[in-house]
Structure 1
């Protein structure tokens, strides 16, 4: 069958920087451990399996600097091993308990125990560095790795502070090169957040393409004909955009009718960490705080169901194949429909947060495997990457886009509403004062340079989009507020000391140990260009 559609499948791997070695265990560090165990190790194993079987596939992945820093942090690596060891211990107990008390859950308990053992063995076999394995797949041409902003900052809300935008981009690109050993061609805009002019800064860093939300075409300043199915030049730059296809993405993404809502798939929110007696489960949770353990024995059944049916992995896998084929069918149908009108092969771009697969949607990794296993000759669908698309793009439209995002409503409502608007008067003031410090104390060395670099580090960490999102979503509100207060307070320590031309050495050493990220940060990036 002739090719009817090209598809860019882009996954965004990000978590906020969470590292609290001052505690023996820390609840929010589980965000990383769950993601590694349920998404990034299983995904890597599937991709390596496809590569070893000589199956041609293409995938694009963006790893944020905060995520890669945590992955390469030795203390966190050790804690992750402890986490998996704890899951193995719990799994062995659960196999015995379910065999005796709940035989319907026995197969699931065996499945979780097997996964924990295999993931631990794999993690040790790759020297606890899964990023090196992803880099190897990139060098073999199987995946494209792209950069993103340093702390996943939502850039449109900082558009008036070019130094802060440059700091986010500079650190993001520098981190990518350091971790993966290659210059990125693509740049993931956090939250698909675009504002006119960001492309000019990205162009200076050699970036060739960005992704944009589907709303960008609707709200563009000029009429666009092909932007939803072909690369489009952004503004007056040489950077191309790939617009996220809303309808194809929503086949998976929608929490109302997406594939992960199927009644046979595993229920995410029902976990033995909340169901079993405290005396039994306490060694595997955080003190007296009940949390997810990853041992979930129930199927979704229905949203309103009180009594859930037990999860059947075989039945769920049958649905995965059905949904993968349905997904490919929709892509092919869209491609054929467009080809009949325009006589061209469309390129559709589908973007997701990576931890949807495996973590939120337990069967999601298997879904990705099935669509990548599809034969182009049979389906007419060619999985590719944005950079590969640009190699055979001859002529492109030029789009002049307005500010937009993939958030609710297509603008900035998620990151700027009544719950989180107060953040920006503090982060904006911190940026202004950081610019002031860079102007008053340029090109310092030794302790003063370290002190000022720490101030820049705290500003960048405070800019993370995770904190306003958590406040908006009303999840770990207390933790997000504490992190913001800590970063902004730490910045103010430097600012008040430098106003006296002093350095607090004892505080600095503790602060550098606490936030061991961006070791190559240079505070001079906050010096406005007009004053350089």
Structure 2
């Protein structure tokens, strides 16, 4: 007779942060829309399908899922949806080519990929043709997950002009309400970026909790902490547990049996190899074998669950009360980067309750009292050094200057165009909604996206990132210039033409730069 597993104290929470910059109409390969479609097929389809299965089995409060407004806009965009469907069909065609190749290893790869592509197409046709929002609303209504929101366009908020920072937060929450028919109680601040005082913005706008990295709480992440004099709770990522997966040196995705992310079959673009070894060249990597990988997944599930149990016990003993352990990851790790990740994640979520671990969300942690004494948080992020150096260090000083200059130009123009308290400008825009002002703000937010300095600092497609930042800066400047010189017709044409490429956040209204409360609607 088996002895029942002893229930351990506390709660374990997984937080997933889903984000990509605005990629539609800005290149395809090697950086651009292809990035979106790979992530959609590898991660978003599979993670949502996993949550759907858990919901069908009656599971609730399985994880907190952050979806940034800029990613949500792409997953709901008709152009992106149509292009995604074409991408899936192309994947199947490439698999067909491999399946008819003379080489038996390539044929086996092709058959396997054809089956995966066919399953993805069926899932997309059944669930995704009207975008992601119906999926997210359904899963949230089923209670299987908590939704986390965020500011528009994913800016590194601590470096923003305060007006733009507050506007971006308000509009991001409004965007969430419009898409999902509910305002998220929690957010994932872009890059976990924090500056003292931002908790007041959160409190004003109804945000009840947010994520920070573990060092921001000086490593004491066993409880959420109210920040300053507010009731807004900061939850910290437990690095001891998160790095079981995330660590580039010892994390699970680097196991020799898992599929290698970096190695391609150059005839078909498919990924044929397993990791094999950290120092093994792509040409020498062994063929991927899903069955051998599957056994490793189970071992890593058991290892992770065991470490979560032990961490909950030790942290509960340390603080003298049931503790909270939060593991936080980018959603794109599961499937896009780590092919086996969604399988591992579902098995972990099913195995944890069997192992006596209570699983919940950040919202349930706050509700059930996993909250300690108030703290004053330092300036911080989850980037290198846990400070702001990735976004304002010497290597991105040119982007910091660009962001400041563009923001100043945009605010000066919008103040003259739509500020209800200001003097009427010769353009005649003041007092009503201005699509020109809206586009100025939209392009400004795209300019100051945190992705561009991150990509430069990490030297990942840095040229693309710099080009994107300057392209949106140019759009902002030329629309502002035309509007302020009284050339209303030209300003309208420029705003319209730029919106063809950057057709996101249709509800954005520049007049709300002058409101202090959350917007009640997104109409004109």
Q: Please give the TM-score of this superposition, normalised by the length of structure 2.
A: 0.90
Point out where structure 1 has 5 or more consecutive residues left out of the alignment. Answer: 220-226, 282-292
Secondary structure (helix, strand or coil) at the match of 1:50 reads helix
Show CA shifts across 1:35-94 (max 9, x none).
110001011112212222334551111111111111111122111111111111111111
Do the aligned residues in 2 keep the contact of 1:62 with 1:147 (CA within 8 Å)?
yes
Q: In the superposition, relative to structure 1, how do residues 62 and 334 fare at CA in structure 2: closer, same or farther (>3 Å)?
A: same
Residues of 2 paired with 1:313 and 1:394: CA distance? 40
Residues of 1 paired with 2:237 and 2:456: CA distance? 26
Q: How far 1:132 sits from its partner (Å)?
A: 1.2
Do the aligned residues in 2 keep the contact of 1:108 with 1:313 (CA within 8 Å)?
no
Show CA shifts across 1:197-223 (max 9, x none).
11101111111000111111229xxxx
Corresponding position of 1:287: none
Corresponding position of 2:378: 402
Alignment of 1:67-146 (within 5 A): 67-97=71-101, 100-101=102-103, 103-128=104-129, 129-146=131-148
Q: How far 1:528 sits from its partner (Å)?
A: 9.2
Is 2:269 the partner of 1:268? no
Is 2:500 the partner of 1:513? yes
Q: In the superposition, relative to structure 1, how do residues 327 and 26 fare at CA in structure 2: closer, same or farther (>3 Å)?
A: closer
Residues of 2 paired with 1:233 and 1:25: CA distance? 44
Once the two structures are overlaid, the 10-residue window that deviates more, 46-55 or 460-469, is 46-55
Do the aligned residues in 1 keep the contact of 2:216 with 2:378 (CA within 8 Å)?
yes
Q: Please give the TM-score of this superposition, normalised by the length of structure 1.
A: 0.89
Corresponding position of 2:206: 206
Show CA shifts across 1:228-281 (max 9, x none).
1111101111100111101111111111001111111111110113xx3xxxx5
Residues of 1 paired with 2:433 and 2:364: CA distance? 45
Corresponding position of 2:158: 156
Alignment of 1:299-318 (within 5 A): 299-306=274-281, 307-318=284-295
Point out where structure 2 has 5 or more consecutive residues left out of the alignment. Answer: 1-5, 421-428, 517-524
Secondary structure (helix, strand or coil) at the match of 1:381 reads coil
Q: How far 1:181 sits from its partner (Å)?
A: 0.8
Corresponding position of 1:349: 326
Residues of 2 paired with 1:375 and 1:473: CA distance? 35
Of the three residues 440, 449, 464, the one matched with 2:449 is 464
Residues of 1 paired with 2:128 and 2:212: CA distance? 36
Do the aligned residues in 2 keep the contact of 1:299 with 1:308 (CA within 8 Å)?
yes
Is 2:299 the partner of 1:322? yes
Do the aligned residues in 1 keep the contact of 2:223 with 2:371 (CA within 8 Å)?
no
Q: How far 1:445 sits from its partner (Å)?
A: 5.8
Corresponding position of 1:241: 234
Q: In the superposition, relative to structure 1, how do residues 333 and 402 fare at CA in structure 2: closer, same or farther (>3 Å)?
A: same
Q: In the superposition, relative to structure 1, how do residues 382 and 105 fare at CA in structure 2: closer, same or farther (>3 Å)?
A: farther
Q: In the superposition, relative to structure 1, how do residues 506 and 446 fare at CA in structure 2: closer, same or farther (>3 Å)?
A: farther
Is 2:333 the partner of 1:333? no
Do the aligned residues in 1 keep the contact of 2:61 with 2:361 (CA within 8 Å)?
no
Do the aligned residues in 2 keep the contact of 1:163 with 1:528 (CA within 8 Å)?
no
Do the aligned residues in 2 keep the contact of 1:176 with 1:182 (CA within 8 Å)?
yes
Give the RMSD, CA atoms, in angstroms: 2.1
